[in-house]
């Protein structure tokens, strides 16, 4: 999937969710009306990126708040290789997800797309 098309999908979904949240604050519940729409997005993205890719997409949208979540507000602890937790310094930046080397992943629309494209390529090589 091109980055431009990916961006159209994720931005449209974010806009729809913002509109639903506004309606919900006005006591209008639209969740039943958008379930099919969400199912379409899930089906299409799962077809392109697989279940693992869709899981990352979902995490980015809802738990990472479309890349806008401030992870520095979270507990300032990280687990080291030996399994022990240590406190981070106030100057350390916290990311919601990192790769095996500790590099941040899926922190922006573009980084999410790049990560999903890597998953897609790996999926294609296996098939």
pLDDT in tens, 4-21: 999 999 999 999 999 999
| Global pTM value | 0.78
The count of structural domains within the chain is 1
The strand ranges marked E within 26-87 are 77-79, 85-87
Domain range spanning residue 45? Answer: 3-126
Nearest to 38 by CA among 66, 19, 58, 18: 58
Q: Using one digit for the tens of pLDDT, what is the confidence trace for 78-90?
A: 667 787 877 666 5
State mean pLDDT over 119-127.
79
| 127 band by pLDDT with thresholds 50, 70 and 90 | low
- Rounded to the nearest 5 degrees, what angle is found at the Cα of 54, between the Cα atoms of 49 and 114? 60
């Amino acid at each position: 999937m091109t980055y431009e098309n990916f961006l159209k999908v994720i931005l449209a979904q974010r806009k729809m969710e913002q509109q639903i949240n506004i309606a919900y604050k006005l006591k209008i519940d639209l969740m039943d009306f958008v379930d099919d729409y969400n199912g379409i997005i899930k089906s299409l993205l799962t077809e392109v990126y697989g279940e693992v890719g869709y899981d990352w997409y979902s995490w980015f949208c809802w738990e990472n708040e479309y890349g806008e979540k401030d992870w520095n507000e979270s507990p300032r602890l990280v687990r080291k290789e030996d399994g022990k937790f240590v406190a981070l310094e106030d100057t350390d930046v916290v990311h919601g997800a990192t790769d095996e080397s500790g590099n941040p992943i899926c922190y922006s629309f573009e980084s999410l797309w790049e990560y999903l494209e890597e998953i897609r390529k790996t999926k294609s090589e296996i098939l």
